[in-house]
């Protein structure tokens, strides 16, 4: 298994959620269970993002809990970047910004173990 890395945050009830996308794009993660993007996002070619390396994850600036993850169905070419604030409200507005360094997109992500 190739290692990838993901940042999530823990909400009040202990659930682990995406640290970037909220609202209509929110994804809940459970350790050792596969997660997928909401159908409306997946239908537009936007799936779950992880990082290639631990260094990429830490340098992204995202704060939360850090996990080693497994992925399925890696997307070969990232779609155009869109802002998390827009997808939070259920809209996709593509722009020319770059994805954070080392971003990988996959149709399914499973949290394996927390990185301290």
pLDDT band at 14 (very low <50, low <70, confident <90, very high): confident
Residue, of 70 and 97, whose pLDDT is higher: 70
pLDDT at residue 84, rounded to an integer: 80
pLDDT over 90 (residue 22): no
Q: Total domain count for the chain?
A: 1
pLDDT, averaged across the chain: 91
Q: Number of C-alpha atoms within 13 angstroms, CB side, residue 111?
A: 20
Q: Which domain holds residue 18?
A: 4-115
Structure token pair of residue 50: 């992880």
pLDDT at residue 73, rounded to an integer: 96
- pLDDT tens profile 74-90: 999 999 998 887 887 88
Where would I find the beta strands (DSSP E) of 1-116? 4-10, 16-18, 28-29, 34-35, 48-51, 65-74, 81-82, 94-95, 103-115
């Amino acid at each position: 298994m190739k290692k990838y890395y993901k940042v999530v945050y823990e909400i009040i009830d202990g659930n682990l959620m995406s640290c970037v996308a909220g609202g209509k794009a929110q994804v809940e993660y459970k350790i050792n269970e596969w997660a997928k993007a909401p159908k409306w996002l997946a239908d537009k070619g936007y799936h779950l993002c992880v990082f290639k390396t631990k260094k990429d994850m830490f340098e992204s600036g995202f704060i939360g809990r850090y996990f080693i993850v497994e992925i399925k169905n890696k997307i070969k070419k990232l779609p155009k970047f869109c802002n998390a604030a827009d997808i939070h409200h259920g809209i996709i507005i593509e722009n020319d910004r770059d994805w954070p360094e080392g971003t990988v997109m996959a149709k399914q992500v499973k949290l394996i173990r927390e990185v301290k």
